[in-house]
């Protein structure tokens, strides 16, 4: 019995600790740090960047000589080969040769241990083009990795803001629903006393039922927003966090043209696309190399014996090898033309990318301007709607207004409050969007380098 109680107590403590961890307060910066640490997209981009860096080193290595060791087994009764291999093994016997039938020699077993060194000297520019391409692709992947981190932080900031927005909206609707419930209770009292007709009470109850539906929809939306935040943070989607109060967004100034100009030079994903375009242009240089001669030096040292890894006989040689392509059915010409067309395609894509970046910055700028203006008018509308509801409520209590007038005033206040709430959070969202779209670093803006340590 005691063991069972202890086990139950342990389970309770674990559940309590789990709930405490799930309901811990979460700041925006901590959410961003968690996302940077856990995001599969960030980890994948880093791995891709490391792979590209290694490929760049791999390309450079082709400038250096290659050294290969080969062990060859050969058993033959070919007259010329048996003669040559017996010489190479340094076991040639002139008397035995003349005493035998040279045209029908006995089979000879030979093992060849070969070390070969190949040093490319000239490849028509193909090797230098490949090395430059690999370097550009490595730089592009590094930029892409950094952009992925920025994108992850941006997505997390949006998700965090959406959770805060959804929860405040839910609180607003619950408060409005409580106000409606109070008015329904008052209407029931007045209907019982004969001050209002039953139809007025039914309207109020229908309105209250609609408010219950709105509250449930808002609750569901808040839960989904939390799951989306957890997704971007890379944690279990079932966790629940109490959010810290969302700080006002950083003030942004300047002109639209300055933000657009900055985006063309600061966007890391755009710069990565430009590096890839430069790498694509080098494909023309690599393709042209097929029409130029290649030259390499080859050094070879060999041991010959009748057993593996034997050293009874040895020889060495140094060769210079030149090769030029005379005809390959037009394949090289087609490859060069394809490279030119592909480069042209990349140029159009990068140009469209630049235009898209400018459009995104314009959109974010206009969103911010609009959100600020909407928030200002919505704040004034909330003040007016609050006063209107107060007046309608007093007149209803005095029997001067109908229930429908009071419900209309409630609706107007709720709608005004929702507009103010949406506009206020849209300022945050548009601010983050403008910073991200322009290529500025949210990681630096939020000082995450220090926070994430």
What is the per-residue pLDDT for 197? 67
Averaged pLDDT, 152-156? 95
HEC string of the chain equals CHHHHHHHHHHHHHHHHHHHHHCCEECHHHHHHHHHHHCHHHHHHHHHHHHHHHHHHHHHHCCCCEEEEEEEEEEECCHHHHHHHHHHCCCCCHHHHHHCCCCCCCCEEEEEEEEEEEEEEECCCHHHHHHHHHHHHHHHHHHHHHHHHHHHHHHHHHHHHHHHHHHHHHHHHHHHHHHHHHHHHHHHHHHHHCCCCHHHHHHHHHHHHHHHHHHHHHHHHHHHHHHHHHHHHCCCCCCCCEECCCCCCCCCCCCHHHHHHHHHHHCHHHHHHHHHHHHHHHHHHHHHHHHCCEEEEEEEEEEEECCCCCCCEEEEEEEEEEECCCCCCCHHHHHHHHHHHHHHHHHHHHHHHHHHHHHHHHHHHHHHHHHHHHHHHHHHHHHHHHHHHHHHHHHHHCCCCCHHHHHHHHHHHHHHHHHHHHHHHHHHHHHHHHHHHCCCCHHHHCCHHHHCC
Contact criterion met (CB below 8 Å) for 31 and 160: yes
What is the per-residue pLDDT for 254? 87
Quick: pLDDT tens for 410-423: 888 888 888 898 99
Quick: pLDDT tens for 280-314: 999 999 999 989 999 999 999 999 999 999 999 99
Q: Give residue 309's region: left, alpha or beta (phi > 0; psi -120 to 50).
A: left
pLDDT at 21 > cutoff 70: no
Quick: pLDDT tens for 80-96: 999 999 999 998 888 87
What is the per-residue pLDDT for 8? 40
What is the per-residue pLDDT for 340? 93
How many angstroms separate the Cα of 119 from the Cα of each of 57, 125, 128, 131, 291?
17, 15, 15, 16, 21
* 26-65+145-293+337-451 CATH fold: Outer membrane efflux proteins (OEP) (1.20.1600)
pLDDT at 14 > cutoff 50: no
Report how far residue 53's alpha carbon sits from residue 142's, in angstroms, rounded to the nearest whole number: 8
The lowest-confidence range among 11-20, 156-165, 364-373, 424-433 is 11-20
What is the per-residue pLDDT for 6? 40
As a whole number of angstroms, the longest Cα–Cα distance in the chain is: 141
pLDDT at 324 > cutoff 50: yes
Averaged pLDDT, 121-148? 95
How many angstroms separate the Cα of 158 from the Cα of each of 136, 233, 378?
32, 12, 22
pLDDT at 178 > cutoff 70: yes
pLDDT at 405 > cutoff 90: no
Averaged pLDDT, 259-266? 93
Quick: pLDDT tens for 27-72: 998 999 999 999 999 999 999 999 999 999 999 999 999 999 999 9
Contact criterion met (CB below 8 Å) for 173 and 220: no
What is the per-residue pLDDT for 228? 95
Averaged pLDDT, 221-235? 94
Report how far residue 180's alpha carbon sits from residue 167's, in angstroms, rounded to the nearest whole number: 20
Report how far residue 111's alpha carbon sits from residue 74's, in angstroms, rounded to the nearest whole number: 6
Tokens of 215: 């509250």
Contact criterion met (CB below 8 Å) for 423 and 378: yes
Quick: pLDDT tens for 64-75: 999 999 999 999
Nearest to 230 by CA among 388, 399, 35: 35
What is the per-residue pLDDT for 112? 96
pLDDT bracket for residue 253 (50, 70, 90): confident
What is the per-residue pLDDT for 104? 87
What's the whole-number average pLDDT of the chain? 88
What is the per-residue pLDDT for 205? 85
Between 254 and 66, where is the model more confident? 66
What is the per-residue pLDDT for 414? 85
Report how far residue 175's alpha carbon sits from residue 218's, in angstroms, rounded to the nearest whole number: 13
What is the per-residue pLDDT for 410? 81
Q: What is the pTM of this model?
A: 0.81
* Domain regions of the chain by residue span: 26-65+145-293+337-451
pLDDT at 318 > cutoff 70: yes
Report how far residue 60's alpha carbon sits from residue 134's, in angstroms, rounded to the nearest whole number: 9
pLDDT bracket for residue 453 (50, 70, 90): low
Strand order in the sheet with 294-305: 66-76, 108-122, 294-305, 313-323
């Amino acid at each position: 019995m005691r063991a069972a109680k202890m086990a139950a107590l342990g389970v309770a403590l674990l559940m309590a600790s789990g709930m405490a961890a799930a309901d811990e307060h979460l700041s925006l910066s901590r959410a961003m740090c968690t996302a940077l640490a856990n995001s599969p997209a960030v980890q994948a981009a880093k791995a891709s960047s490391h792979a590209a860096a290694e490929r760049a080193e791999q390309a450079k290595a082709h400038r250096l000589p290659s050294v290969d060791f080969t062990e060859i087994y050969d058993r033959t009764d070919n007259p010329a080969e048996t003669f040559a291999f017996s010489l190479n093994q340094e076991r040639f016997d002139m008397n035995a040769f003349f005493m035998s039938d040279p045209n029908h020699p006995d089979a000879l077993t030979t093992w060849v241990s070969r070390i070969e060194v190949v040093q490319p000297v000239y490849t028509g520019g193909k090797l230098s083009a490949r090395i430059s391409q690999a370097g550009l692709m490595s730089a592009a992947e590094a930029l892409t990795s950094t952009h992925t981190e920025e994108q992850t932080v941006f997505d997390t900031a949006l998700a965090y803001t959406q959770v805060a927005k959804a929860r405040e909206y839910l609180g607003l609707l619950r408060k409005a629903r409580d106000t409606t419930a109070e008015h329904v209770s008052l209407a029931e009292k007045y209907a019982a006393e004969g001050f209002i007709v039953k139809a007025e009470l039914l309207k109020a109850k229908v309105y209250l039922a609609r408010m219950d539906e709105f509250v449930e929809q808002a609750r569901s939306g808040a839960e989904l927003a939390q799951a989306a935040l957890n997704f971007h943070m890379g944690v279990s989607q079932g966790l629940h966090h109490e959010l810290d109060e969302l700080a006002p967004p950083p003030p942004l100034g300047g002109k639209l043209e300055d933000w657009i100009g900055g985006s063309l030079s600061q966007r890391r994903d755009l710069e990565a696309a430009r590096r890839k375009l430069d790498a694509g242009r080098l494909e023309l240089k690599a393709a042209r190399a097929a029409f130029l001669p290649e030259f390499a030096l080859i050094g070879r040292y060999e041991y010959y014996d009748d057993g593996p890894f034997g050293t009874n006989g040895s020889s060495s040689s140094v060769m210079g090898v030149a090769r030029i392509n005379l005809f390959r059915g037009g394949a090289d010409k087609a490859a060069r033309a394809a490279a030119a067309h592909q480069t042209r395609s990349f140029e159009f894509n990068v140009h469209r990318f630049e235009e898209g970046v400018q459009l995104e910055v314009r959109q974010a700028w206009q969103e911010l301007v609009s959100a600020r203006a909407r928030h200002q008018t919505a704040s004034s509308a909330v003040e007016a709607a609050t006063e209107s509801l107060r007046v309608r409520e007093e007149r209803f209590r005095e029997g001067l207004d109908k229930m429908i007038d009071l419900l209309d005033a409630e609706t107007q206040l709720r709608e005004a409050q929702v507009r103010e709430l949406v506009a206020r959070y849209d300022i945050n969202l548009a601010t983050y969007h403008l910073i991200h779209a322009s290529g500025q670093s949210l990681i630096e803006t939020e000082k995450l380098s220090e926070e994430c340590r």
